[in-house]
Amino acid sequence: MPGTSLDFTARLRAAGLRPTRQRVALARLLFEGGHRHVTAESLHVEVKSAQMPVSLATVYNALNQFRDAGLLREVVVAPGRSYFDTNTGHHHHFFVEPDGALHDFPSDKVTIAGLPAPPKGTRLSRVDVIVRVRR
Amino acid sequence: MPGTSLDFTARLRAAGLRPTRQRVALARLLFEGGHRHVTAESLHVEVKSAQMPVSLATVYNALNQFRDAGLLREVVVAPGRSYFDTNTGHHHHFFVEPDGALHDFPSDKVTIAGLPAPPKGTRLSRVDVIVRVRR
DNA sequence: GCAGTATTTAGAACTGTTCTAAACTCCTTG
DNA sequence: CAAGGAGTTTAGAACAGTTCTAAATACTGC
Ligand SMILES: [Mn+2]
Ligand SMILES: [Mn+2]
Ligand SMILES: [Zn+2]
Ligand SMILES: [Zn+2]
């Protein structure tokens, strides 16, 4: 029976997180469809309107834990608000201002050549490309 | 007499901003040396310790006005804090985590090929490349 | 100099996020 | 199939960064 909470229970356990009612509900919203970009506030609204009340603090806790567990990645594109991205693979973003909408694009067709070497004493961690667009 | 506040007075006036004592002091700190990346808080500390007390609200006002006038550009790389960049030309950034240090690199040696077309109904505004590195 | 508008300022307000500590729940063990 | 205990949730307080308010002050054009 696909789409069941059993999947998420196992997935959370594998990530070292107890599959609580709240985390399973959030994981289902986040992971059962296609890739998503949410903010804490938007996910909180969503989980509340799905007859599944979860406190805002728990939404923040879960997003941070999911990110730390590698289930989500955090995207910083605008001041004062973090996006969480269910697509943890290599990819980049369009950011539509002023809406705040994020759209993925695959990084494998994009070639970035000529990047200088990291500053002395540092190792490369990630390259983010943010293509800002306007209506 | 180079390095005088006269330069900044003229530059502010040209940007449509009255050259007040506070704005001239901030402009001097920002623009008289090489390119810089500051936060409101860091600039506030700096201007205070230069026997030139300016309120934090004024630092925020000035940074936003300088940015709106095209004298600065705002860089968003970390949640909860904005950087302001005196280098308004085309360039990209190394971001050293967890220090929060920003380093410029020129964009003219970097080639980004294969970027997809902007989403329907949007125009390209800017492409930001952030190379995140760790110690 | 004066008038009038722009600017500055301290402090309040606001937003997004984290913290606190008490209540609750999952899970292991007996 | 209890407890018991560690992990989790929660409301609300606290916090950090930023913006707002409205009264005082400083530029500027006359
Ligand atoms: Mn965080
Ligand atoms: Mn701003
Ligand atoms: Zn994404
Ligand atoms: Zn820069």
- pLDDT tens for A35-45 read 999 999 999 99
Residues near A1 by beta carbon (within 8 Å), at least 6 away in sequence: none
DSSP B92: E
Tell me which residue of B85, B73, B71, B78 sits closest to B37, measured CA to CA. Answer: B85
d(CA B39, CA B81): 7
Residues near A80 by beta carbon (within 8 Å), at least 6 away in sequence: B80
Tokens of A65: 């834990």
d(CA B21, CA B100): 30
A117 touches chain B (CB under 8 A): no
pLDDT in tens, B40-92: 999 999 999 999 999 999 999 999 999 999 999 999 999 999 999 999 999 99
d(CA A85, CA A65): 13
Chain mean pLDDT for chain B: 94
Which residues are in reach of strand C, CB within 7 A? A 13, 18-21, 39-41, 56-57, 60, 64, 80-82; B 17-18, 20-23, 53-58, 61-62, 79-80
Same domain, A78 and A98: no
Q: Which residues of B touch A76 (CB under 8 A)?
A: 76-79
Q: What is the pLDDT of residue A76?
A: 97
Going from the Cα of B104 to the center of ligand 4, the distance in angstroms, rounded, reads 5
Q: What is the pLDDT of residue A98?
A: 83
Domain boundary among B39, B59, B82: B82
Which nucleotide does the CA of B82 lie closest to, via C1'?
Answer: D17
Q: Length of chain B in residues, anyone?
A: 135
Same domain, B21 and B78: yes
Banded model confidence at residue A103, pLDDT cuts 50, 70, 90: very high
Nucleotides of C under 7 A from a protein CB: 6-12, 15-20, 25-27
Least confident of A18-32, A48-62, A97-111, A117-131: A97-111
In the Cβ-directed half-sphere of B80, how many Cα atoms lie within 13 Å? Answer: 2
Facing residues of A81 across strands? A78
Domain boundary among A53, A82, A111: A82
Same domain, B55 and B95: no
Same domain, B34 and B49: yes
Same domain, A71 and A33: yes
In angstroms, the Cα distances linking A84 to A61, A68, B36, B79, B100 are 12, 12, 30, 12, 20
Q: What is the pLDDT of residue A5?
A: 65
Closest CA in chain B for residue A115: B110
3-class DSSP state for residue B47? helix
Same domain, A26 and A44: yes
Q: Range of A57's domain?
A: 5-82
Q: Which amino acid is at A4?
A: T
Q: What is the pLDDT of residue B4?
A: 65
Q: Which residues of B touch A75 (CB under 8 A)?
A: none
Same domain, B93 and B51: no
Same domain, B121 and B55: no
Going from the Cα of A82 to the center of ligand 3, the distance in angstroms, rounded, reads 12
- Judged against a pLDDT cut of 70, whether residue B6 lies above it is answered with no
Nucleotides of D under 7 A from a protein CB: 7-12, 16-21, 26-28
Going from the Cα of A64 to the center of ligand 1, the distance in angstroms, rounded, reads 6
Q: What is the pLDDT of residue A104?
A: 95
Same domain, A10 and A51: yes
Same domain, A60 and A98: no
Q: Is the peptide bond before B53 cis (omega within 30 degrees of 0)?
A: no
Same domain, A47 and A28: yes
Tell me which residue of A32, A24, A127, A15 sits closest to A86, measured CA to CA. Answer: A32
Tell me how many domains chain B contains. Answer: 2
Same domain, A51 and A101: no
The two beta strands, B111-113 and B101-106, are: unpaired
Looking at chain A, the whole-number percentage of residues with pLDDT higher than 70 is 96
Facing residues of B104 across strands? B93
> Under a CB-based contact definition with an 8 Å cutoff, are residues B64 and B9 in contact?
no
pLDDT in tens, B90-113: 999 999 998 899 999 998 889 999
pLDDT in tens, A47-58: 999 999 999 999
Which helix (H) or strand (E) segment holds residue B133: the answer is: strand B123-134
